[in-house]
A and B are shown apart, each in its own frame.
Chain A
Amino acid sequence: MSLKSYSRARAVHVMLVYTGGCNGCDIEIVNCVLSPKYDIEQYKIFLTWNPREADVLVVTGPVTRHNKEPLKAIYEAIPEPKAVIAAGACALMGGVYKNIHGDIPSEEICGPVDEVIPVDAKVPGCAVRPEDVLAGAVAALPLLLDAE
């Protein structure tokens, strides 16, 4: 393990981007960070709101039309190596907003997330359980640590 990955493993910064879901997933992810019960900081994972400081991007929601370009811009702003976690049914397949009418496309929704930016880890659930978010974040770590 190089010095860089050694230190990186001790300060993983997660940025949460909300792209138009119902807020349920976001509350649960913030709950992961702030609630003493889950306390993601014990794994040395911290929440940040600055893309330039972040290593992991957590995206929730089905990506509404207004959010598409900002999401791409945020993704671009994160320095390499980076990992993207899509959390929640909305982020994985558009959720109820996209699919409820069968094949008729919705003009408001540009998702799912992996059609907009590349996704590395997927956390299912509506809403996601905090335990699963922890598992997802931990699963994304090798991508950061093994990078050249």
Chain B
Amino acid sequence: MDEDNKITDETPKKQVIETEVPLGPVHSAAIEPYRVRLFVEDEIVKDAEITVGVNHRGIERIMEGLPVEKANSLTEKICGICSNIHIWNSVLVAEKALEIDVPERAQYIRIIMAELERLHSHLLYLAHGNEVLGHETFSMRLFYIRETVMELLRMVGGNRVQYGVPVIGGIRPRAELDQMKIQKIEDGINFLEEKLSNFAERFISDPMIMSRITGVGVIKKEDALRLAVSGPTLRATGVAVDLRRDMKEYDPFDFDVITQDDGDIKSNLLMRVLENFESIKIIRQAINHLPEGSITNRSWEMQDTPITKNYVEAPRGKLYHSYALNDGRVRHCIIRTPSITNIGAMEYACIGCHITDAQLAVVQCDPCFTCTDRAIQIIQL
């Protein structure tokens, strides 16, 4: 099937080990196409190799030379799971470069969107994780809970996947919140909180699931730091790093940085469960203290700017966008998504697992290969 997929065929084996088990690119446990090569000895994974590149679309290349507004909405199409954080970061780059102040109300609504998106991404992760685990009941329950978040996202942004809420200087008028919408959000997160605590209780007290995932696919703290892992996967190993702490947008909000100690599948799953409650906390603060005022600042002028960069905390970790503006058009665009560094962790987590746990060990790092397929490897010829 992948005869012309030259990346995979020429990749050298790291060691000479007898059995090789390829998974993917189209595989049931992986919705997205990527390829995992497992080198197996006695059903224990000795080495793993992940190849991406099947869905390379050249997004930065397409963005190059586009008017900045158009380029911003294009970044949303990098990833359908964390689309809002991409457009937000891209808008933040432009705002940083042009020194635009954003009204406080717009800031709050952006945060509500970002946290709703984090909720939907984490719930999707948990549902997918449970499905790979083989527990379809939990998976369906989580999809049922997630539907509430999707409805809220559709209500605020107007679409279930691509919302396009942030624009330079504020937010799109469509996303303005009135009293009715605020009420709906409040009802939604109350419902969510109740259902989630219900789920968390059952999940933690289920001895079968716990024994299946405890101590499997361990990523040690030192190795996580060495592999430059980011986001919840890093926090699950015990490192309290959350870029939301450094973002000035999150200053008015009170939330905890959740960490877990073990770095195994259990810590990773629990990590996301607990982070959901923090997101709910932030949304609740935001709707309770939503400032009055306008939602867009239109008094700014386009200038030429040097390359500006910005980091934000995406649901999966550290997200980097940078570009320069020239004539109102985007130049030298570079985007780096969290999964590209987490690939190292995925390969690492597989090693030493039983072969049946390998897919789970990959999934525990929350892979998202749509946004990752932009890496360039320079090969010396």
Q: Which residues of A contact B (CB under 8 A)?
A: 16-28, 30-31, 34-37, 49, 61-62, 64-67, 69-70, 73-74, 95-97, 100-101, 106-109, 126-127, 129
Contacts and interface: CB of A to CB of B under 8 A. Distances in A.
Query: A interface, by DSSP: helix, strand, loop or mixed?
Result: mixed
A25 B80 contact: yes
A20 B55 contact: yes
Contacts of A23: 31-32, 79-81, 368, 370
A64 B32 contact: no
B144 A66 contact: no
12 contacts: A18-B31, A18-B32, A23-B81, A30-B31, A34-B127, A65-B56, A66-B56, A69-B1, A70-B2, A101-B62, A106-B62, A108-B57
B74 A96 contact: yes
Interface centre among A35, A66, A106 (most CB of B within 10 A): A66
B152 interface: no
Given A27-B80, A100-B62, A67 B57 contact: no
Contacts, number: 126
A72 to B, nearest CB: 10
A22 B144 contact: no
Interface stretch (B20-28, B210-218, B272-280, B358-366): B20-28
Contacts of B26: 17-18, 49, 70, 74
Contacts of B354: none
A34 to B, nearest CB: 5
B291 interface: no
A73 B31 CA distance: 18
Contacts of A26: 31-32, 80
A37 B147 contact: yes
Given A36-B140, A64-B55, 19 more contacts: A16-B31, A20-B56, A20-B370, A21-B55, A22-B77, A22-B78, A27-B81, A27-B124, A28-B160, A36-B144, A62-B57, A64-B57, A66-B4, A66-B55, A67-B55, A95-B77, A100-B62, A100-B66, A101-B62
Interface residues of B, number: 46
B55 A127 contact: no
Nearest to B6: A66
Contacts of B160: 28, 127, 129
Query: B interface, by DSSP: helix, strand, loop or mixed?
Result: loop
A130 B370 CA distance: 20
Contacts of A24: 80-81, 83, 161-162
A19 B369 CA distance: 12
B66 A127 contact: no
Nearest to B139: A34
Given A18-B31, A97-B62, A35 B53 contact: no
Nearest to B4: A69
B140 A18 contact: no
**Across chains A and B, which 9 residue pairs bring their CB atoms closest together, nearest first?**
A24-B80, A20-B55, A24-B161, A127-B161, A49-B28, A23-B80, A35-B143, A22-B80, A23-B370
Contacts of A35: 140, 143-144, 146-147
Contacts of A30: 31
B370 A126 contact: no
Interface string B114-155: 000000000010010001000000011001101100100000
Interface centre among A23, A27, A64 (most CB of B within 10 A): A23
